[in-house]
Amino acid sequence: MNTSTIRETPVRPALRLISAAALIFFLAGALAAGPLVFEKSEYAGRRARLMDKIADGAAVILGAQPPAGYHPFVQSNDFLYLSGVEAPNAVLVVDGKRRESLLFLTLTERAARNDGIPLDLVSDPAGATGIERVLPAAELTAALERLAGQGYVLYTPFMPEELPRECSTEKWRALQTAMITNPWDGRLTREGQFKKLLGERFPKAEVRDCSSMIWEMRTIKSAAEADLLRKCARIGVNAYREVLKAVRPGMPEHELAALFEYHCKKAGAGDLAYYAIICSAENHPYLHYYKHDRILQDGDFVVMDCGPDLKGYDIDITVSFPVNGRFTPRQQEIYEACLAVHKASLGLYKPGLSADMVKAGVREILEKQGTNLDTDAFKQLSGGFGHYVGLAVHDVGRGPAVLRPGMVFANEPLAVFPAENLGVRVENTVLITADGCENLTDGIPREVRDIEEFMKKK
């Protein structure tokens, strides 16, 4: 824009004072935020809970390495969870015996500026992070030698680190096939190599896995985490509303994906939690289809599964809708079956319930409503209780055996009819509260009449 052609509008002195005050307030808030997403006490509390589990030793957590290509650096999830520090090649040692933490980090001002890392981590890393001792990375080996020599059990995660759009257990299965057991490869994971080296260099020290210890903690979200997930959910909900307003026959699937991502990033999301899944026509049976290679036709029914990532935390949402904004009787039948299960589940979720108890309760609710559960719509239906959501979209943990306050997971009943080129999934991200649940992703039109009415307002 050529600013020479813009005339300055007169501003009264009072408005100038207000603007200056607002700028000072904004800058103060930005500076006060420092390098961490949450308060230092939040991370200290997490480390203290880990110390309770490892009173006979110390946990050594490797941070992420710099990316090899032109991708921004993002910290691995376990490291981020325990420290909040987003800098490459860092190592965190959580000492359960002395109940202190050590951060091994070498970071220059030039490197920090280049990667957009707050300079607090260079000038005052201990003050910025709340970690008791911050030492140069070169001192890690000597520190581990001291711990091993003092009879410490050395704990470290055996499962693969989670990086952007990764889920640890899924990554582990993929690496087992592609690398670890591949006869033409055979490499260990980074974690496996680190475990091996610890055993070789400190043969008298016992090396144990602490992945499950950290994962158990991550399954219960704090109030601060829940608040961040609410903000992330609002971004995803509003992006979906924009998609529903815009979709029309003749639109390429890739345009829907781009529109969702645009509105998420416009609202402050750093990235998508995972690639945008769009299933339509013959692609409905492939529940994670992401090629976006169809032109949407009049009469198509779409399953769109996308979620934003905000400051490392993810949200999972799926919407299902007719491209032309009008349900056929068959589309409505299948959709309303999935929605009925979804709504009944939301009405039941509370602490103390198991998946089987929720399933039985849903059936009882639907039978009392007079629903015929013998139709193919309900017989084909699956899903429901879903998976954890948090730092990864398929967050760590073995699934909620019994619901507890602070658990966040996806409620996602679905049904697919390949012969009819029809699939439906209704998915929200749910937080278990002290006496029930909160639908974090509420605000998307879900009833058939509401979807049809909303899509008229294009």
Asked whether 315 and 428 are in contact (CB, 8 A), the reply is no
Mean local confidence (pLDDT), 291-307: 98
Sequence letter at residue 295? I
* pLDDT tens profile 58-79: 999 999 999 989 989 999 999 9
User: What confidence score (pLDDT) does residue 3 get?
Assistant: 33
User: Looking at the predicted structure, is the pLDDT value of residue 137 above 60?
Assistant: yes
Instruction: Give me the helix-helix angle, 448-455 and 329-348, nearest 10°.
Output: 120
Angle at 239 between CA 238 and CA 241, to 5 degrees: 65
For the ranges 30-44, 214-228, 386-400, which has the lowest average pLDDT? 30-44
User: Looking at the predicted structure, is the pLDDT value of residue 91 above 60?
Assistant: yes
Domains of the chain, start order: 40-218 (3.40.350.10), 223-455 (3.90.230.10)
Mean pLDDT, the chain, integer: 92
User: Looking at the predicted structure, is the pLDDT value of residue 334 above 90?
Assistant: yes
Q: How confident is the model at residue 383 (pLDDT cuts 50, 70, 90)?
A: confident
Q: How confident is the model at residue 27 (pLDDT cuts 50, 70, 90)?
A: very low
User: What confidence score (pLDDT) does residue 34 get?
Assistant: 66
User: Looking at the predicted structure, is the pLDDT value of residue 23 above 90?
Assistant: no
Q: How confident is the model at residue 458 (pLDDT cuts 50, 70, 90)?
A: low
CA distance 457 to 49: 51
User: Looking at the predicted structure, is the pLDDT value of residue 18 above 50?
Assistant: no
Q: How confident is the model at residue 385 (pLDDT cuts 50, 70, 90)?
A: confident
* pLDDT tens profile 417-449: 999 999 999 999 999 999 999 999 999 999 999
User: Looking at the predicted structure, is the pLDDT value of residue 5 above 50?
Assistant: no
User: Looking at the predicted structure, is the pLDDT value of residue 12 above 70?
Assistant: no
User: Looking at the predicted structure, is the pLDDT value of residue 131 above 50?
Assistant: yes
- Locate 76 and state its tokens: 């691995």
Q: Which long-range contacts (CB under 8 A, 24 or more apart) does 279-287 make?
A: 279/303, 279/304, 279/305, 279/423, 280/253, 280/323, 280/421, 281/421, 282/418, 282/421, 284/416, 284/417, 284/418, 284/421, 284/422, 284/423, 285/416, 285/418, 285/423, 287/414, 287/416, 287/423, 287/425
- Locate 21 and state its tokens: 């005050």
CA distance 307 to 424: 17
End-to-end CA distance of the chain: 31
Highest averaged pLDDT of the listed ranges 29-33, 111-115, 279-283 = 279-283
